[in-house]
Amino acid sequence: MEKIIKGKVFVLGDDIDTDQIIPAQYLVYSLEDPVERKKYGELALSGVPAEESGLPQGHIPLVEEGQQESQYAIVLGGKNFGCGSSREHAPAAMEIAGVKAVIAPSYARIFYRNAVDGGFLVPVESFDRLVESFTTGEEIELNLEEGFVRKLATGEQFPVRDLGEVGAIVEAGGIFAYARKVGKIGEAANA
Amino acid sequence: MGMTITEKILAKHAGRDQVKAGENVWVNVDVLMTHDVCGPPTIAIFKKQFGKDAKVWDKEKLVIIPDHYIFTKDFHANRNVDLLREFAAEQKLPHFYDVGTSRYKGVCHVALPEEGWTRPGEVLFGTDSHTCTAGAFGQFATGIGNTDAAFILGTGELWVKVPETMRFVIDGKIPSCVMAKDIILNIIGDIGVDGASYRTMEFAGTAVEAMTMEDRMTLCNMVIEAGGKNGVIAADATTEAYVRQRTDKPYTIYHNDPDATFHSEYHYKAEELHPMIARPQSPDNKSRITEVLDVPLDRAYIGSCTGGKFSDFWAAAQLFKDHPVGVDTFVVPATTEIARQLDEVKMEGRTLVEIFKDAGVQIGDASCAACLGGPADTFGRLNADEVCISTTNRNFPGRMGSKESRVYLASPYTVAASAITGKITDPREYLD
């Protein structure tokens, strides 16, 4: 796990649900097949209504049309990020698009758990709702060692919460790596 | 110190005398359920992590119920069902409800109880957020992702954080026009789509005790729409009668200790409840029906794990038996068993299928169908900027298909009344 993530921020509102993160019609694609897998990157956050995509101006897609990867490394959302279905394709799609972390004041629990246990991206909780404090495209630094997110241009910074007891799973890279580390399961049979 | 029902179930499955809300524990899993959307990626992770020749931890405890994208020509969707079929054959799985066979069931959350897979006191995980439906049987049931499911496939265990419990006590006699769907929409509207995040929602009170299992399932089904981890209703004689008709397996009934600690307690008087609507685009956008009358509609939809059970169709038929529909109306029984009942059970001399056909309603095959949009050729899918009233569970942007569509969530009574007039209508206009 990277402790310091720098890159452009992509800003969204409250209650971004899993149908907005990856619309259900696309869940038919394989996450294993290398060609089909890329579609998840192209389609990540494609269900967000245009005017709410890339705040405050809106009408900005996470991934430009014709591209497979996003120029944004960090997604910053409002409360209850990832609500809705249990589809693990949601954090997976964001990871495939190139997103390394999400910052939000609160998460829906299945999305949070999937992000952590699958080792897709780091779900970081901010103390305050930061949606109005950031503009899509700003260069930021998320520092998990010292617990803050900072605007590179101005140096303005906001505290984020420690990962707490799931930190060990995030650091290991997911539930399987963690379970092997603590001796809960054996080494992968064909790893 | 006293424990809640959920704490007791998790303690038992963690091999402990006592657990407390907030603790992380490893629990033994009684049943793991998966379906056609999340099964294939779960199997892929299982093989990657445990080896290509690995065997599932317990064939008797794995239930595979394809239900999401079944009646479609979509190549990739059909391939996913093939992948389940291959895995079931390879592992010799006894509990695979395969498409195109007499075993095919339809919507997993309704099929699980029908087939005796929901039992008081057990721990059930499923790769679907509405797995919480099974809490109606006094068990711990919640949705998980593919990675967690793959972990269970190999080990039979999973870590969980023990949730705090919010109690919702509903006492009294529910008015005849009010359905369980109205009650849960009202509660979600009161606490918000994240009002129960990470917590258990327990339903109790004389009104809940008087409910059928199907109505209790409707309450627990939508706890995820308030962010809840699980819903639970203490098992009683109604639960036992339902379960005993379907399985001989032993089960354990748990009750809250008198000194159990709760996060909060909400009280509702059943007599004061009304038909409710969740307006677009969130399940907590609640209105009383009287506040949204006459909104013009393009279609109506009755189906899903939330509103596609036999009693939901019986309710709709009470209105459709005397009135044709005024807008395109789609009915999708959750399971093949319900489809059979619609074809056999009569109301005033006609079967429900006959009543629906005579009223101009279109009937689809048992599956999740348009509740979550699905492939473009899905029965009932909203493919444009249509406005729909639906008995389903979510109305986030694009949930039932097109991002331009708008969905109002309501009870089967309200959806049927609105289907007749083509605009949002108070079911009391048609009910005694």
**pLDDT tens, position by position, B187-205:** 999 999 999 999 999 999 9
E runs forming strands in chain A: 4-11, 72-76, 101-104, 122-125, 139-143, 148-151, 157-159
Q: State how far residue B229 is from chain A, nearest Cα, in angstroms.
A: 7
Is the distance from CB of A73 to CB of A6 less than 8 angstroms? Answer: yes
- Separation CA B161–CA A97 (nearest Å): 30
| Set of chain A residues whose Cβ sits within 8 Å of the Cβ of B48 | 188
Q: State how far residue B375 is from chain A, nearest Cα, in angstroms.
A: 5
Q: Which helix (H) or strand (E) holds B217?
A: helix B213-221
Give the pLDDT of residue A103: 98
Beta bridge partners of B26: B159
CATH class of residue range B277-431? alpha beta
Give the pLDDT of residue B45: 98
- Residue at A167 is within a domain: no
Which one of B304, B372, B409 would you mutate to disrupt binding with A, by most A Cβ within 10 Å of its Cβ? B372
Q: pLDDT-based confidence at A189, cuts 50/70/90?
A: low
- Separation CA A58–CA A10 (nearest Å): 10
- The pTM for the full model equals 0.98
Is the distance from CB of B217 to CB of B187 less than 8 angstroms? Answer: no
Residue length, chain B?
Answer: 432
A69 touching B (Cβ < 8 Å): no
Average pLDDT over chain A reads: 96
Give the pLDDT of residue B432: 73
Which of A85, A174, A176 faces B129 most closely, judged by CB atoms?
Answer: A85
Domain count, chain A: 1
Pairing type for strands A148-151 and A139-143 reads: antiparallel
Instruction: Please write the tens of the pLDDT for every residue from A22-54.
Output: 999 999 999 999 999 999 999 999 999 999 999
Give the pLDDT of residue A186: 86
Backbone angles phi, psi at A103, to 5 degrees: -120, 125
Q: State how far residue A96 is from chain B, nearest Cα, in angstroms.
A: 15
The CATH number covering residue A23 comes to 3.20.19.10
Domain ranges of chain B: 5-267, 277-431
A117 contacts B147? CB cut-off 8 A: yes
A190 touching B (Cβ < 8 Å): yes
> Is residue A191 predicted with pLDDT exceeding 60?
no
Give the pLDDT of residue A188: 67
Q: State how far residue B322 is from chain A, nearest Cα, in angstroms.
A: 37
- Residue at A34 is within a domain: yes
Strand order in the sheet with B230-232: B230-232, B200-204, B165-171, B264-269
Taking only the tens of pLDDT, chain B with its 432 residues reads 899 999 999 999 999 999 999 999 999 999 999 999 999 999 999 999 999 999 999 999 999 999 999 999 999 999 999 999 999 999 999 999 999 999 999 999 999 999 999 999 999 999 999 999 999 999 999 999 999 999 999 999 999 999 999 999 999 999 999 999 999 999 999 999 999 999 999 999 999 999 999 999 999 999 999 999 999 999 999 999 999 999 999 999 999 999 999 999 999 999 999 999 999 999 999 999 999 999 999 999 999 999 999 999 999 999 999 999 999 999 999 999 999 999 999 999 999 999 999 999 999 999 999 999 999 999 999 999 999 999 999 999 999 999 999 999 999 999 999 999 999 999 999 997
The domain in which residue A46 lies consists of 4-162
Give the pLDDT of residue B237: 98
- Separation CA A141–CA A127 (nearest Å): 16
User: CA geometry: angle at A21 spanning A16 and A24, to 5°?
Assistant: 120
Dihedral angle sign, alpha carbons of residues B338, B344, B349, B350: positive
- Separation CA B379–CA B72 (nearest Å): 9
Q: What's the half-sphere exposure (Cβ side, CA atoms, 13 Å) at A143?
A: 13
Percentage of residues in chain A having pLDDT higher than 70: 98
Is the distance from CB of B412 to CB of B382 less than 8 angstroms? Answer: no
Superfamily of domain B5-267: Aconitase, domain 3 (3.30.499.10)
> Is residue A87 predicted with pLDDT exceeding 60?
yes
Give the pLDDT of residue A152: 98
Average pLDDT over residues A49-71: 96
- Residue at A182 is within a domain: no
Give the pLDDT of residue A1: 77
Instruction: Please write the tens of the pLDDT for every residue from A72-86.
Output: 999 999 999 999 999
- Residue at A38 is within a domain: yes
Give the pLDDT of residue B269: 98
A106 contacts B53? CB cut-off 8 A: no
Pairing type for strands B230-232 and B264-269 reads: unpaired
E runs forming strands in B377-425: 387-390, 406-409
Q: How far apart are the first and last CA of chain A?
A: 20
A114 touching B (Cβ < 8 Å): yes
Is the distance from CB of B126 to CB of B144 less than 8 angstroms? Answer: yes
DSSP H helical segments within B345-399, as ranges?
Answer: 352-358
A125 touching B (Cβ < 8 Å): no
| Set of chain B residues whose Cβ sits within 8 Å of the Cβ of A184 | 26, 155
Size of interface A-B (CB pairs under 8 A): 141
